[in-house]
Structure 1
Amino acid sequence: MTHDHDLVLRPTTAQTEAALDPPPGRNGGDLVVETLAGLGATTVFGLPGQHALGMFDALRRSDLRYVGLRVENNAGFAADAYGRITGEAAPLLLSTGPGALTSLAALQEAAAASAPVLAVSSQVPSAGLGGGRHGYLHELPDQAASFRGVVKSVHTVRTQSQIPSAIAQAWKSALTVPHGPVWVEIPQDVLLAETRLPVVTAVDATPDDLPPRPELTAVAAHLLSGADRPAIIAGGGVVRSDASGKLVALAEKLNAPVVTTFGGKGAFPWGHPLSLQSWLEDRHTTDLLEDADVLLVVGSGLGELSSNYHTFKPRGRVIQIEADLGKLESNHPALGIHADARLALQALLETVEAREDEGAPERARALLAKVAERIASQELTLEQEVLASVRRALPADSPSFWDMTILAYWAWSAFDAKAPNTMHSAQGAGGLGYGFPAALGAAAADPTRPVLAVSGDGGALYSIAELATARQYGLDVTWLIVDDGGYGILREYMTDAFGQATATELTRPDYVALAESFGVPGVRTTPETLEADLAKALAEPGPSVVVLPALLRMFAPTHLS
């Protein structure tokens, strides 16, 4: 009797001969790049360093495309965006110690947003490992420990034969839902030593599926089918699992209004009759969601931003579909379904009964009218016109990447993403400097569409060095910098809280002249000319910078009744 697990693939004669006679001049770094290529990687991001040179030397013997950034954190943001756009694990090659640690903020964002990033770092030579202090440059007592609280999984390598399996395990971890960043570290001597191991070819690292338990979806379908006022909150998990179409079908079958979280922008069509859009910092929206007798939450942990700063208190039954086990019922009691959003929505589509509810579209229209009236009463015409100009200038299928800046906070609530997986921001972890390097990663992932980055002048200074990267690789990114002379949102927060702001004002460069010094075209615009200038920059190939001097204000959120 033969069992499936007894079957092994036997090499052909040609494969055996090739394995017995590997090409000369290979090192441990070649095993890294061969494994990445065998897993399907085509592009890697990173920054070289002394201990990592074995990997970078191996790149020239491979077909992998290398996109090198100027700061490790920015390379991490670029890999994050590449992973979001392609759905593939984005390799990030880093050096030891300071180089590795500089990537931590980017990996935190990738973890919060479930972006698949495969970070491969060097380590001090093997002789320096084991917990001692041996005085090697870049040495840390326990480098992997610095990453365990940030990434999804950590994989340590100590010999060359471990490299292919460790990277394959990390790849599988990054792409098993919930997606996320993973960490592999390899000592310098292991990367540099000549290897006689066979060339790594096809590697199997198929991610695991996460289907829902059928008894749970049966209960969920029963609750939704019998609901009087169902509603749906769609989070980033819907976007990550490419489940937007199934979400629309389920909402229409149930006649349930849908609000998308800031991370779920584009998961539900903005102009759909059942769309509540993304006005989460609004008491009218919170009231409608609290009034639902059955609330379906898909791909969201209902964290701080998604719950109107934890003021949201649902009165009805909550059903939560979430791939991240730790987020299941973490903020609200629910019928928790640990599953991939796409598979769970498909199961519900097959089992719910259609609901008739002619009043559902009217409830959605009434809510949006209340929101519009509230915003109109605050006399924020400039902000709304600037955001509308950006939307008109940006092609419908072009992705946009937003830094933590006032215009981005407006966009979370008020910007029509037009399609799933086209609007991205750093709202997962909330670090500055995300927008521009992330846009570079997206442009590397798909050069057929222009990409927009939006930053304030404070965030722009975090990633200004990447103008050199944009120019070097000819990446088709237009960078809109809203220049208000400081950390605008912090200025508002401090003024509101303390009557005046401290440490928020910035001396900044002439961004147009600075861009041109990198060989990148720059233009200074006004709110009146923004649409035309932005559209022109987006239409021209290669990188460009558009600077908008403007003091924007945030709309007043409503947390309380």
Structure 2
Amino acid sequence: MVTGAVRLVEVLRAHGVEVVFGLPGVHNLPIWEALRASPVRLIGVRHEQTAGYAADGYARATGRLGVALVTTGPGAANCLGATGEAMASGSPVLVIATDIPSPLRRPGEYRGALHETRDQRAMFLPVVKGGWTLRGPHDLGTYADHAALLATTAPHGPVYLGIPTDHLTADTGPWHRIPTAPPVVPALDAARALIEQSTRPLIWAGGGAQRAQAGPSIADLAERLDAPIVTTYAARGLVDHPHVVHGPVHLPEIGALWDEADLVIGIGSDFDGMMTQNWLQPPPPRLLSINVDTVRNYPPDVTLRGDARVVTEALARTLDPRPANGTAERVAELNAEARRAAEADEPQVTGLLDALEGHRVVADMCVAGYWIGGFHRVTAPRHLAYPVGWGTLGFGFPAALGAALAGRTVAVCGDGGFLFACGDLATAAQEQLPVTVVLVDDGGYGMLRYDQVQAGHPTHGVDLHTPDFAALARSFGIESSTVDGFGDDFRRTLDKYTQAEGPNVLVVKAELKPPVNTSPRWYRKVRT
């Protein structure tokens, strides 16, 4: 006999899963028993939302399947916000939730069994690629395999699998892995013709290019076309190349690259509102899209549907190299201008950006995080996770717990967002995760305070009573310090903390002005 719980762990191992994040409940304990006998590492968290965020952070940092294990009803519901962020950011996350025992369920009736919902799967459907609740234990291996494969097949995204708790202890039937189809390269003639007609091409690389590991092929294409490369938030660090712009298109000098281009080559991007200032960037004269999905925000002239790396690689091989015409020099000047603009706009931020260079960073939705998303120089793939998919406050710290499985990670949080998951300091301490929290304490919701002041309103409801964060961290057995601003004390302490073995918390007393990539400061305005 192979129980459902044992079969589930077997399927996860077949998909290369080495770590899962979860919180136990009365319904899912058989999975905990199956994990005890397996080499899969179980990281127990203190809130189901953390399980989802940590699985997402792990997926972004490693490119592998992130797994969140939650229990029935309220446990599953607690994971919804994190699942929505994974959906909006294209993260391959598998949410496995138990459901009430199948003998207690009556179709169309709510009976009041422990943790019962009318339709648990239905809660997840708006924020997942696909979702199923098992009808019988003999399907468990097949459905688990399909769910894991769907999450990790482009376009990546979260998948929900609901398992009635009695199926975890029942006998399961055999299962056979679903074969994966080899990537297909579409016809390239139309794309090549479009490129040959252009004289000022711009490459716009998005999260799909990051997930496809398309950096080297994009660098090759950029060199052949002598074209600059703009990366979205999700694609930061995709490739370290002289043609990569390290500032935001929300800076007019960098936004000019879009305005001047006679051809935009979008690779793994759907041109979302946060990058295009809610589509106030004018449609380019010509658009070539390389994507697994149809792009609708700007209608392409030509679409190459397929894997970003495979298709870009094939396309680049068909093109004759163009002579260099100053693109590398212009990009270098733009990068220097972006740093000058940041320092002129907010002198404090230079210390933060300089100190973080070279580190793996997970940023929250906070003013410091917005600066990092826009201006932090990321030079390695998957070294920045930033929640401007759905825009979920409270993402930074719990996602960093998962990202830390890939190596020392710095979580940059505000004082408001950190409190969403501060209980998981216990997780960081218990698992001795290599995460450094940079907690920027400005006494409230700094971005919302800025919005109220700009609107001419007195601040209301945005100034917060907060704990002594350093003492809070130390109460969990975690080393912590407090510094004022981003000067020498900050750099010295951050250097010390990022060379340590386990977790630590660096509290920074500072208030930053929001950068130009936040929506109240976008330079493109609606024409009236």
Which structure has the greater CA radius of gyration? 1
- Match runs of 1:186-335 below 5 Å: 186-193=163-170, 195=171, 204-214=177-187, 217-269=188-240, 272-325=241-294, 328-335=295-302
1:346 paired residue number: 313
Per-residue deviation, 1:290: 1.9
Out of 387, 390, 395, the position equivalent to 2:353 is 387
String of CA shifts for 1:257-308, please: whole Å, max 9, x gaps.
1111111101232xx4323223121223222212211110111111111113
**SS of match in other structure, 2:494:** helix
Per-residue deviation, 1:312: 0.4
User: How far apart are the structure 1 equivalents of 2:111 and 2:181?
Assistant: 40
**SS of match in other structure, 1:58:** helix
User: How far apart are the structure 2 equivalents of 1:345 and 1:187?
Assistant: 44
Per-residue deviation, 1:359: 3.2
String of CA shifts for 1:392-433, please: whole Å, max 9, x gaps.
xxxx3x421111111111111211112111111111111011
Q: How many residues align?
A: 518
Per-residue deviation, 1:209: 4.7
Q: 1:65 to 1:362 in 2, by over 3 A?
A: closer
Amino acid at match of 1:469: T
Per-residue deviation, 1:386: 2.4
2:50 paired residue number: 74
Q: 1:251 to 1:161 in 2, by over 3 A?
A: same
Amino acid at match of 2:281: F
Amino acid at match of 1:204: R
Per-residue deviation, 1:129: 4.6
User: How far apart are the structure 1 equivalents of 2:496 and 2:326?
Assistant: 44
**SS of match in other structure, 2:436:** strand
2:10 paired residue number: 34
**SS of match in other structure, 2:21:** strand
Percent identity of paired positions between Structure 1 and Structure 2:
35
Q: Is the 8 A contact 2:283 2:298 kept in 1?
A: no
**SS of match in other structure, 2:202:** strand
Per-residue deviation, 1:191: 1.8
1:9 paired residue number: none
**SS of match in other structure, 2:109:** coil
Amino acid at match of 2:268: G
Amino acid at match of 2:419: L
Amino acid at match of 1:141: R
1:442 paired residue number: 403
Q: Is the 8 A contact 2:210 2:238 kept in 1?
A: yes
Superposed CA RMSD in Å reads: 2.0
1:5 paired residue number: none
**SS of match in other structure, 1:310:** coil
Per-residue deviation, 1:224: 1.6
Out of 493, 503, 506, the position equivalent to 1:543 is 503
Structure 1 residues 309-318 or 203-212, which shifts more? 203-212
1:159 paired residue number: 136
Amino acid at match of 2:235: G
Tell whether 2:437 aligns with 1:470: no
Q: 1:29 to 1:241 in 2, by over 3 A?
A: same
User: How far apart are the structure 2 equivalents of 1:253 and 1:425?
Assistant: 31
User: How far apart are the structure 2 equivalents of 1:110 and 1:554?
Assistant: 25
Out of 101, 125, 144, the position equivalent to 1:148 is 125
Per-residue deviation, 1:368: 4.2
Structure 1 residues 307-316 or 529-538, which shifts more? 307-316
**SS of match in other structure, 2:52:** helix
String of CA shifts for 1:416-460, please: whole Å, max 9, x gaps.
11211111111111101111111111223x3xx311111000111
Amino acid at match of 1:117: V
Tell whether 2:523 aligns with 1:552: no
Q: Is the 8 A contact 2:342 2:375 kept in 1?
A: no
Per-residue deviation, 1:491: 1.0
Amino acid at match of 2:474: E
Q: Is the 8 A contact 2:48 2:79 kept in 1?
A: yes
Q: 1:374 to 1:33 in 2, by over 3 A?
A: closer
**SS of match in other structure, 1:385:** helix
Q: Is the 8 A contact 2:202 2:263 kept in 1?
A: yes
Q: 1:226 to 1:267 in 2, by over 3 A?
A: same
String of CA shifts for 1:522-561, please: whole Å, max 9, x gaps.
0112322111100101111000000001111113444238
Q: Is the 8 A contact 1:220 1:319 kept in 2?
A: yes
User: How far apart are the structure 2 equivalents of 1:517 and 1:329?
Assistant: 51
Q: 1:209 to 1:290 in 2, by over 3 A?
A: farther
Q: Is the 8 A contact 2:134 2:164 kept in 1?
A: yes
Q: 1:493 to 1:188 in 2, by over 3 A?
A: same
Q: 1:373 to 1:474 in 2, by over 3 A?
A: closer
Tell whether 2:370 aligns with 1:404: no
Amino acid at match of 2:77: L
Amino acid at match of 1:538: T
1:183 paired residue number: 160
Q: Is the 8 A contact 1:176 1:208 kept in 2?
A: no
Structure 1 residues 127-136 or 368-377, which shifts more? 368-377
2:391 paired residue number: 430
Q: Is the 8 A contact 1:289 1:314 kept in 2?
A: no
1:496 paired residue number: 454
Per-residue deviation, 1:38: 3.0
Q: Is the 8 A contact 2:264 2:287 kept in 1?
A: yes
**SS of match in other structure, 1:253:** helix
Structure 1 residues 481-490 or 277-286, which shifts more? 277-286
Structure 1 residues 157-166 or 221-230, which shifts more? 221-230
Q: Is the 8 A contact 1:320 1:329 kept in 2?
A: no
Amino acid at match of 1:324: D
User: How far apart are the structure 1 equivalents of 2:504 and 2:236?
Assistant: 26
